[in-house]
Amino acid sequence: MELDEKEFNIYNIVSVEKGKRISTALKNITPSSKYLLSQFTNLKDAYNEFFKNKIDILISDISYAKEMDLSILKKIRKENKDLYIFLIIDSQDSSITIKDLNEISAQGYCSKDDKLNQLSIFIETAIKSLDQMNMIKTMNEELLASKEQLVKSYLESIEILRYIVEAKDTYTRGHSERVSEYSVLIGKNLGLSKLDLRTLKIGGLFHDIGKIGISDTILLKKGKLTASEYDEIKKHPIIGKNILSNAAIFQDIIPIVLYHHERYDGKGYPEGLSNKDIPFLARIVCVADAFDAMTSKRSYRDILDIEYVKNEIKSKSGTQFDPIVATTFLDIINNETRIISEIKNRY
């Protein structure tokens, strides 16, 4: 689908940093005619700007005064629910927690150590995301009388954001499509409604959108992640939820995006939900996601043997996985081998 820049607003952007990296990155990725930039050296001075004008994007370095900055960010978020917040943090001295991200509904962050081109990618993602949200809101308003056209346009537009994620990592290319199809297959075998199957399809496609906010250094690392790196990866469901939360048409898939890494025994993330507290569709995507991860090649290992994968799903039924979902998927793997192979070969 072609995107016409004339359809979108000029964005008011506030940058907070002791330098020029943000403004330089902006100049590298988008024409100045598309944004108005207000620059400040600290978030305290920038605070009043949010009451003078409608601000669309805040890009802030919070590595100097984290505690004070987080307090200000909470106030700003309370006043502006639609604001796209992107943070630059000190990975060594001031790591931000999942709780922090959730409280301010930050859509993304990167390390202060990242190179300029990495920062540019993240800022470009913020602008593209807002473009997409504006387009979707416009479609939602203009196409209410044509439900099928709305769904078609909706599917086309979310593809663009999803491709940004998969373009970062060649090893996960096709992962979201396969998870989507496996999830729908499980849903059909469980007798779910057409509405639930559609939600599974879209939620599966979009479940990892929060990885837009994870540094490539971590996302593409070969070998085992350190504990702190794994903590960063664990933030992607929160980031994904924050990206989607302002558009009404995404509400049905947000539980999938936010909770697909929760475990049936309560030892998952980001909230440690257990059993039936985890939304059922998220429990389905959890199994489909794990299956595809184990049966796909990764930078740090080859594809795992299918018998080993089946034993893993069986052994973790009731701990990592919902027993009903796990049993259903094992039956599919054993009895519908051709369909599983077709999905794997399709992507």
Mean pLDDT of 75-89: 88
Sheet holding 57-61, edge to edge: 35-40, 11-16, 57-61, 84-89, 108-111
- Partners of 87 in the beta sheet? 60, 109
pLDDT at 170 over 80: no
pLDDT confidence of residue 11 = 85
| Residues 65, 70: Cα–Cα separation, whole Å | 9
Whether the predicted model's global pTM rises above the 0.85 cut: no
Neighbours of 278 (CB within 10 A): 21
pLDDT confidence of residue 222 = 79
- pLDDT over 90 for what percent of the chain? 41
DSSP string, 164-194: HHHTT-GGGTTHHHHHHHHHHHHHHHTT--H
Confidence of residue 183 (pLDDT cuts 50, 70, 90): very high
Which is higher by pLDDT, 231 or 8? 231
Answer yes or no: are the C-beta atoms of 268 and 316 closer than 8 Å. no
pLDDT at 67 over 90: no
Mean pLDDT of 300-317: 92
pLDDT at 113 over 80: no
> Within the chain, how many helices (H) and strands (E) appear?
17, 5
Domains of the chain, CATH where assigned: 5-129 (3.40.50.2300), 147-346 (1.10.3210.10)
pLDDT at 247 over 60: yes
pLDDT confidence of residue 300 = 67
Answer yes or no: are the C-beta atoms of 54 and 81 closer than 8 Å. no
Degrees (nearest 5) of the Cα angle 185, 264, 341? Answer: 25
